[in-house]
Amino acid sequence: MEQLRSLIQNLCNTDEEWSSIVQKYIKDHTEPQNKDVLKAFDDFMECVCEKYKICPADLENKLIEWLGEDAEWIFKLIKDTLYAYIELQEYRQLANKNEEKAKQLLKYIFDNAIIRYDPEFHLQYKKWRFNSPKQLLRIASIFRGLTEYYIERRYTTHAIKKDLLKETGISDTVCDYYIEIYEQNYTTMQLNYVVMQMREEREKDGCR
């Protein structure tokens, strides 16, 4: 935690009002005069996000001890930043026990919730040893959201792998399998995305 303490001290040294400056930037994207504050905060966030993955409770206690009231909004920001990672906890547990089963689930999600859609796909949750359909829905929602993000930005496979490893914490092998399925179905998914965008535009026009 010494690294974290040092980064907090660096924030204070950069600007004593760093908390209000960063919160204002997050709220309305107003660029601060002292842009070094944002760089110092980015370094701090990178550190706390990695420590959250190891032990959230210890991190929260240290933030409360060192930052007082500021710990609350920062901890919320950490959880928002790591949303995909947190929501995929059950999937990582599955992959740690049985990597092949995790690959099969990923293929199932692509076939039934991303490339095509089965409204009842989540009812197969017991097959994947989940306790409720909500767990399967959450996992599918994360992978669907990430896939749409990559399609929209036309990410290369290198960029996808780098982001996927960071956002999800899944293994290198499972990440490679995701990319394999993604590449095999890229054209279809791209067309699906274009159709979806056109439908949304028509719906907007119909509401005017």
**Which of the pair, 14 or 201, is modelled with greater confidence?**
14
What is the pTM (predicted TM-score) of this model? 0.88
| Full 3-state SS string of the chain | CHHHHHHHHHHHHHCCCHHHHHHHHHHHCCCCCCCHHHHHHHHHHHHHHHHHHHCHHHHHHHHHHHHCCHHHHHHHHHHHHCHHHHHCHHHHHHHHHCHHHHHHHHHHHHHHHHCCCCCCHHHHHHHHCCCCHHHHHHHHHHHHHHHHHHHHHCCCHHHHHHHHHHHHCCCHHHHHHHHHHHHHCHHHHHHHHHHHHHHHHHHHHHHC
pLDDT number for residue 195: 86
Q: 208 pLDDT exceeds 60?
A: no
Q: How confident is the model at residue 198 (pLDDT cuts 50, 70, 90)?
A: confident
Q: How confident is the model at residue 151 (pLDDT cuts 50, 70, 90)?
A: very high
Q: 83 pLDDT exceeds 60?
A: yes
